[in-house]
Amino acid sequence: MIKISRKAIYILMLSGCMAAGNRTFAQQDNTNKKVEALLARMTLDEKIGQLNQYNGDWEATGPVTKDVGNKIEEIKQGRVGAVLNIMGTTHTRTFQEAAMQSRLKIPLLFGQDVIHGYHISFPIPLAEASSWDMGAIERAERIAATEASASGINWTFAPMVDIARDPRWGRVMEGAGEDPYLGSLIAAARVKGFQGTGLGSTDAVMACAKHFAAYGAAIGGRDYNSVDMSPRTLWEIYLPPFKAALDAGVSTFMNSFNDLNGTPATGNSYLQRDILKGKWGFKGFVVSDWGSIGEMINHGYAKDNYQAAQEAIKAGSDMDMESRSYINNLAKLVADKKVPVSLIDDAVRRILTKKFELGLFDDPYRFINPEREKTSLNRPENVDDARDMARKSIVLLKNENQLLPLSRSLKTIALIGPLAKAEKELKGFWSLDVDKGQGIVSLMEGMQNQAGQTKFLYAKGCSITDTSRDGFADAIAAAKKADVVVMAMGEAPDMTGEAKSKSNIHLPGIQEELIKEIKATGKPVVVLLMAGRPMIFNWTADHVPAILYTWWLGSQGGNAMADVLYGDYNPSGKLPITFPRSEGQIPIYYNHYNTGRPARNDNDLFYTSAYIDLPNSPQYAFGYGLSYTTFDYKSMEIGKFNPSAKSDKIIPVSFMIQNTGKYAGEEVVQLYLSDMVSQPLRPIKELKDFRKILLQPGQIKRIAFNIKPDELSFYNDKLERIIQPGTFEVMIGSASNDIRLQKTFELTE
Ligand code: BGC
């Protein structure tokens, strides 16, 4: 066994710290001077105005404050620093012109939830995460930013980087799944995509890492609920994607609706002051979530808006989204000596700095250019990228007897199910209606585009939630006449997203009964499942020969599904989140601790930590996903530790992989690590690296990884980052539950 010295690794860890940000010192110094000069000219009311954000007249995601007043008038008075839900150059110009009539002419920020595409709808974020393709994800956000910034938007409330281990929570669709490592890479890719070469270029929008923090761990998976979490879990699992977003230069953070261990995140100094602005040195600003400052009254944390404003500003919430607690109370709080002006100045400085960096003081209309808006939206090359992202997001769950890909010479295909002709549903939740539903390709259309002479027989069969079986007979008749049946089943798009938690995440309605009846015809059946979360569909998983999980794929969804069904694209997606067999297993995730009585296999029912009525294992594990081809893993080696190497080259691990099937295909090879004896405990395995590799049939490649110092370290009970000597196991596999190669090394003192 290879032995490695812990001391040498520590030295390299310390030298491995990196600097972030792409602004030079001189640029920053110059901006700081401008900010200070402006701040010196501002009245207290004007300062407070900068901390105030209003919703426009678009759709709202929270209760809109009744007393809306005259927003344009308030903007002219300098009482508003930012708005949200105002899109398009005409609309944003009206608001910016009002800001230009204020005494100091401080431009407005235009914020928008650009979550998965702006005009061109991309797959939902959880779907994109299934691609494990950082380049493609960054590109998707680049396109979204190019479109949004041409439409007056200069700030997106994305990426959502909340870790989610509970598929009942409707907002799982908006993040990157359950894993802190994958989640961190995706967080960084998304920030880079949105911010491009940096604030200041006209196609860069400010990104916003949200929701700080631990929002995804809502008890019972119920949105907005409390979070009760150990400090180690917070630091090991929930914070890393936020830190990754920060290291990638994210401009803003949004706090969250939940309380964390009894303190609402919005009023939480530990999160916002100690960690974010203190230990991590974040220089951007924090916006509250919608109304979350005022909601501290409902939490029972503040007795009124006056106290809520005081708690929030003290805790480091810089901008108030829609609760009006700041605009209505901060001046009095200062007069009453409850809040020092220095706290307000700090928040204003942060906001003004971003406005300067965006170039808004040079030209407040630089994102408001109707010509650019016309030429930037819906560009054909970007539509192609959306299609490519969509096919990369599809996960092949099952393919018995190589039923897929389908042959183009099939005479008849029966296309059955409530989503077979779905168009705007394919966009899923959190999509903007900018495209007004135009240009969305349904599965039916996508298949017909590509099928050649095949005849399609369509039957809806049933609806998503209704229990009527009236359509079954037609569907069965169509199936009987076909060579192959393709079924498009799933949730409704508004069953996931904000405030869309569910206690029952089974495939809704009587859809699984329809699948049973169609299967009983004896015809080969392919089921496509569309949803924003992992669903439960055990009968289908056990009996249907071919299953594709397609999530919500956006406007190019139909073309992408057809590409995969016909084999023009060999599926390569891997699940970024565990699929349970039953809601009773939730929360369920791969990187758990061992117990004192671990279940070794699914039949271990007694004296082990197990259920007596179902296996511990999930239906589909984190990292799982098939290809039309097969891969053979062999010849793993752990190289000699090289202390003189740079910090990113510590423990070399390599192995060979060969494409043993007949199709070219991509495999996501995954490296997991386990610290076998540890105090305190560490998870049974943790993803530490992966690579997505394209191999031609028969092609063989040696893949090399380097285990880095930080990957051996972890937080102890005092939240110190430590490395303990002992045995580590390195596992290489195709999924978290499909480890093909493993070896150990010893870390000595
Ligand atoms: C959501 C945020 C979103 C905001 C603005 C809130 O309800 O939690 O994620 O950015 O609304 O739409």
> CATH: 3.40.50.1700, 3.30.70.270, 3.30.920.30, 3.20.20.220. Which one for 382-580?
3.40.50.1700
- Both tokens assigned to 193: 């995509």
Report the chain's C-alpha Rg in angstroms. Answer: 26
Task: Please report the pLDDT score of residue 16 as a whole number.
Answer: 40
How high is the mean pLDDT of the chain? 94
Ligand 1 center to 273 CA (angstroms): 22
Residue nearest to atom 6 of ligand 1 (CA): 290
> CATH: 2.30.42.10, 1.25.60.10, 3.10.180.10, 2.60.40.10. Which one for 631-748?
2.60.40.10
From 133, 179, 259, 289, active-site residue: 289
Dump strand ranges (E) for 138-179: 155-156
| Confidence tier at 734 by pLDDT (50, 70, 90) | very high
Q: Where in the chain is the domain with CATH 3.20.20.300?
A: 42-373
- Both tokens assigned to 226: 């409390």
Q: Kindly give, in sequence order, each residue whose CB lies less than 8 Å from that of residue 570, ignoring residues fewer than 6 positions away.
A: 564, 627, 628, 629, 663, 664, 665, 666
Active site residue 346: no
The answer, yes or no, to whether any atom of ligand 1 lies below 6 A from the CB of 290, is yes
Stretch among 162-171, 329-338, 461-470, 634-643 having the lowest mean pLDDT: 634-643
> CATH: 3.40.190.10, 3.20.20.300, 3.40.50.740, 3.40.640.10. Which one for 42-373?
3.20.20.300
| 69 or 545, which is more confident | 545
Query: For ligand 1, what atom is nearest to the CA of residue 60?
Result: 12
Neighbour-count burial of 218, counting CB atoms closer than 10 A to its CB (0-12 exposed, 13-18 middle, 19+ buried): buried
Region 628-641 average pLDDT: 94
Q: Which of 83, 153, 206, 290 has the most ligand 1 atoms within 8 A of CB, as the residue to mutate? A: 290
- Both tokens assigned to 50: 């900068």
> What's the predicted TM-score (pTM) here?
0.96
Count CB-CB contacts under 10 A for residue 510. 20
Provide the β-strand partners of residue 486. 415, 526
Region 725-747 average pLDDT: 96
pLDDT at 645 over 60: no
- Both tokens assigned to 392: 């990369």
Task: Please report the pLDDT score of residue 439 as a whole number.
Answer: 86
Kindly state the DSSP code that residue 402 receives in the 8-state scheme.
G
Task: Please report the pLDDT score of residue 24 as a whole number.
Answer: 85
Q: Where in the chain is the domain with CATH 2.60.40.10?
A: 631-748
pLDDT at 186 over 70: yes
The answer, yes or no, to whether any atom of ligand 1 lies below 6 A from the CB of 289, is yes
Task: Please report the pLDDT score of residue 508 as a whole number.
Answer: 98
Region 564-570 average pLDDT: 98
Ligand 1 center to 170 CA (angstroms): 13
* Residue 17: φ, ψ to 5°: -65, 145
In the sheet with 109-112, reading across from the earlier edge strand, the strands are 155-156, 109-112, 82-84, 52-55, 320-321
pLDDT in tens, 46-103: 999 999 999 986 544 555 544 556 899 999 999 999 999 999 999 999 999 999 999 9
The answer, yes or no, to whether any atom of ligand 1 lies below 6 A from the CB of 62, is yes
Q: Where in the chain is the domain with CATH 3.40.50.1700?
A: 382-580
Task: Please report the pLDDT score of residue 25 as a whole number.
Answer: 86
Percent of the chain with pLDDT over 90: 89
Q: For residues 621 and 602, what is the distance between their CA atoms, to the nearest angstrom?
A: 14
Give 215-273 as a DSSP string.
GGG-GGG-TT--B---HHHIIIIISHHHHHHHHTT--EEEE-SSEETTEEGGG-HIIII
The most distant pair of C-alpha atoms in the chain lies apart, rounded to whole Å, by 80
Task: Please report the pLDDT score of residue 21 as a whole number.
Answer: 52
H/E stretch holding 548 reads strand 546-549
Tell me which amino acid residue 609 is: S
| Confidence tier at 15 by pLDDT (50, 70, 90) | very low
Q: CB–CB of 448/475 below 8 Å?
A: no
pLDDT at 643 over 80: no
Three-class DSSP category at 347: helix
Query: For ligand 1, what atom is nearest to the CA of residue 85?
Result: 12
Q: What is the 3-state secondary structure (H, E, C) of 432-491?
A: CHHHCCCCCCCHHHHHHHHCCCCEEEEECCCCCCCCCCCCHHHHHHHHHHCCEEEEEEEC
| Confidence tier at 648 by pLDDT (50, 70, 90) | low
pLDDT at 155 over 80: yes
The length of the chain, given as a count of residues: 749
Residue nearest to atom 10 of ligand 1 (CA): 157
Ligand 1 center to 618 CA (angstroms): 31
Q: Kindly give, in sequence order, each residue whose CB lies less than 8 Å from that of residue 341, ignoring residues fewer than 6 positions away.
A: 44, 47, 334
Peptide bond preceding 680 in cis form (omega within 30 of 0): yes
Ligand 1 center to 210 CA (angstroms): 9
Ligand 1 center to 322 CA (angstroms): 11
The answer, yes or no, to whether any atom of ligand 1 lies below 6 A from the CB of 61, is yes
Ligand 1 center to 663 CA (angstroms): 43
Q: CB–CB of 126/532 below 8 Å?
A: yes
Region 705-717 average pLDDT: 92
Task: Please report the pLDDT score of residue 383 as a whole number.
Answer: 96
Q: Kindly give, in sequence order, each residue whose CB lies less than 8 Å from that of residue 69, ignoring residues fewer than 6 positions away.
A: none
Residue nearest to atom 2 of ligand 1 (CA): 289
Closest by CA position to 47, among listed 364, 344, 355, 309: 344
Task: Please report the pLDDT score of residue 510 as a whole number.
Answer: 98
Task: Please report the pLDDT score of residue 20 as a whole number.
Answer: 40
Residue nearest to atom 8 of ligand 1 (CA): 289
Sign of CA pseudo-dihedral 309, 312, 317, 323: negative
The answer, yes or no, to whether any atom of ligand 1 lies below 6 A from the CB of 498, is yes
pLDDT at 12 over 70: no
Percent of the chain with pLDDT over 70: 94
pLDDT at 33 over 90: yes
Region 184-189 average pLDDT: 98
pLDDT in tens, 281-340: 999 999 999 999 999 999 999 999 999 999 999 999 999 999 999 999 999 999 999 999
Q: For residues 304 and 295, what is the distance between their CA atoms, to the nearest angstrom?
A: 10
Ligand 1 center to 289 CA (angstroms): 6
Kindly state the DSSP code that residue 168 receives in the 8-state scheme.
T
Task: Please report the pLDDT score of residue 620 as a whole number.
Answer: 98
Query: For ligand 1, what atom is nearest to the CA of residue 210?
Result: 9
Residue nearest to atom 4 of ligand 1 (CA): 290
| Confidence tier at 28 by pLDDT (50, 70, 90) | confident
686-695 and 665-675 strand pairing: antiparallel
Q: Which of 157, 174, 252 has the most ligand 1 atoms within 8 A of CB, as the residue to mutate? A: 157
The answer, yes or no, to whether any atom of ligand 1 lies below 6 A from the CB of 210, is yes
Q: Which of 155, 498, 500, 501 has the most ligand 1 atoms within 8 A of CB, as the residue to mutate? A: 498
Ligand 1 center to 174 CA (angstroms): 11
| Confidence tier at 646 by pLDDT (50, 70, 90) | low
Three-class DSSP category at 558: helix
Region 404-428 average pLDDT: 97
Q: What is the 3-state secondary structure (H, E, C) of 269-292?
A: HHHHHHHHHHHCCCCCEEECCCCC
Ligand 1 center to 295 CA (angstroms): 14
The answer, yes or no, to whether any atom of ligand 1 lies below 6 A from the CB of 113, is yes
Task: Please report the pLDDT score of residue 499 as a whole number.
Answer: 97
Region 686-694 average pLDDT: 98
Closest by CA position to 387, among listed 137, 186, 123, 133: 123
Q: Which of 64, 223, 289, 293 has the most ligand 1 atoms within 8 A of CB, as the residue to mutate? A: 289
Task: Please report the pLDDT score of residue 19 as a whole number.
Answer: 37
Query: For ligand 1, what atom is nearest to the CA of residue 62?
Result: 7
Tell me which amino acid residue 444 is: M
Closest by CA position to 551, among listed 490, 466, 503: 490
Q: Which of 113, 253, 258, 429 has the most ligand 1 atoms within 8 A of CB, as the residue to mutate? A: 113
Closest by CA position to 252, among listed 296, 288, 293: 288
Q: For residues 302 and 307, what is the distance between their CA atoms, to the nearest angstrom?
A: 6
Q: For residues 729 and 341, what is the distance between their CA atoms, to the nearest angstrom?
A: 54
